[in-house]
């Protein structure tokens, strides 16, 4: 392809997506950490985030935001949700008009409750905004395992072109016009993954985990549809697919947080040891604010929120869920 891509973020998923794009087009990757930049450029590795992966020669790393985005044809944002707006502000003077900006983040801005594509529209109006999301565990993809993802944008022409940029080999990329649903699927499943992890940490069993995933999907879908997403999106890769991967994999940061909570550790102890962001912890307050705003009942998300805010424990949370009266499966609860 003749496109040139700029990717912001040197974490595990940002580096992985840069490696995927590099099969189709040259990529300039920006990272804050000078050691990571040097390591990528000289050793073709990023051992802090992807210990066993080799990074293609077509990926060039830099500490310069300007170098990463100037004269690029597409910008990919692999930035945690709480830093997303500030990085958009930094790239604003250097991005050419109308260049598409794609988010990889699966979080909400805590102060506003906004999705990342909404932040793109706020800070860089006129730039087509989209999201790449799905059941994508970075280490498996870098190891060459088959995976599938969704790129969601409102513009049907641009999304088809960007599909070609991300799609490669065993990494299949599907298109979707439902940006709201695709983005919310990625955000909300993190909360349910913490709940599933809390059950696993307490030895609750596979039946319990299946129930949490299924009832969690019902909660995700209710809020997502209330906010303008489409029901079928939550039944696809961005909803059910991402939810299953995140709730069952030991590689999932959010499930890991829940698992440790289930073992009786505090949220402060757990997060102090993590050098990668578990977006569910950060987004939980914003998710509950949205549930209240749209009058959507989310008992699993509510229990997770109480635990990650240190207002409850994983054991108490599960007792609360077990005491919830079961009605018809279609009921909001």
Hey, which residues are catalytic here?
Answer: 189
Instruction: Give the span between the Cα atoms of 92 and 5, in whole angstroms.
Output: 16
Full 3-state SS string of the chain: CCCCEEEECCCHHHHHHHHHHCCCCCEEEECCCHHHHHHHHHHCCECCCECCCCCCCCEEEECCHHHHHCCCCEEEECCCHHHHHHHHHHHCCCCCCCCCEEECCCCCCCCCCCCHHHHHHHHCCCCCEEEEECCCCHHHHHCCCCEEEEEECCCHHHHHHHHHHHCECCEEEEEECCHHHHHHHHHHHHHHHHHHHHHHHCCCCHHHHHHHHHHHHHHHHHHHHHCCCCHHHHCCHHHHHHHHHHHHCCCCHHHHHHHHHHCCCCHHHHHHHCCCCCHHHHHHHHHHHHHHHCCCCCHHHHHHHHHHCCCCCHHHHHHHHHHCCCCCCCCCC
Asked if 212 and 267 count as a contact pair (C-beta separation under 8 A), the reply is no
Backbone angles phi, psi at 241, to 5 degrees: -60, -50
**How many CB atoms within 10 Å of residue 38?**
13
b/e burial code for range 10-31 (CB count within 10 A of at least 16 → b):
bbbbbbbbbbbbbbbbbbbbbb
Tokens found for residue 243: 């939810």
């Amino acid at each position: 392809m003749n496109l040139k891509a700029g990717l912001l973020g040197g974490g595990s998923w940002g580096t992985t997506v840069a490696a995927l794009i590099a099969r189709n087009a040259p990529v300039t990757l920006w990272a804050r950490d000078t050691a990571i930049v040097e390591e990528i450029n000289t050793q073709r590795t990023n051992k802090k985030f992807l210990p066993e992966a080799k990074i293609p020669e077509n990926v060039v790393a830099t500490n310069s935001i300007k170098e990463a985005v100037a004269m690029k044809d597409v910008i990919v944002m692999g930035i945690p949700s709480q830093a997303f707006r500030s990085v958009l502000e930094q790239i604003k003077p250097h991005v050419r008009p109308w260049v598409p900006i794609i988010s990889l983040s699966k979080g909400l801005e805590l102060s506003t409750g906004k999705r990342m594509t909404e932040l793109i529209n706020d800070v860089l109006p006129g730039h087509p905004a989209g999201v790449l999301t799905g059941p994508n565990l970075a280490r498996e993809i870098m190891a060459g395992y088959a995976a599938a993802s969704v790129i969601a944008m409102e513009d049907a022409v641009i999304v088809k072109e960007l599909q070609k940029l991300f799609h490669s080999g065993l990494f299949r990329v599907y298109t979707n016009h439902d940006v709201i649903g695709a983005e919310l699927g990625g955000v909300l499943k993190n909360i349910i993954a913490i709940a599933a992890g809390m059950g696993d940490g307490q030895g609750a069993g596979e039946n319990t985990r299946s129930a949490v995933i299924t009832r969690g999907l019902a909660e995700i879908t209710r809020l997502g549809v209330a906010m303008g997403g489409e029901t079928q999106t939550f039944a696809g890769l961005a909803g059910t697919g991402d939810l299953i991967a995140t709730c069952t994999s030991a590689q999932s940061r959010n499930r890991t947080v829940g698992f440790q909570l289930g073992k009786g550790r505090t949220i402060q102890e757990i997060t102090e040891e993590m050098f990668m962001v578990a977006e569910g912890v950060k987004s939980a307050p914003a998710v509950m604010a949205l549930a209240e705003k749209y009058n959507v009942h989310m008992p699993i998300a509510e229990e997770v929120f109480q635990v990650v805010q240190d207002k409850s424990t994983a054991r108490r949370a599960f007792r609360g869920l077990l005491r919830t009266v079961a009605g018809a499966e279609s009921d909001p609860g």
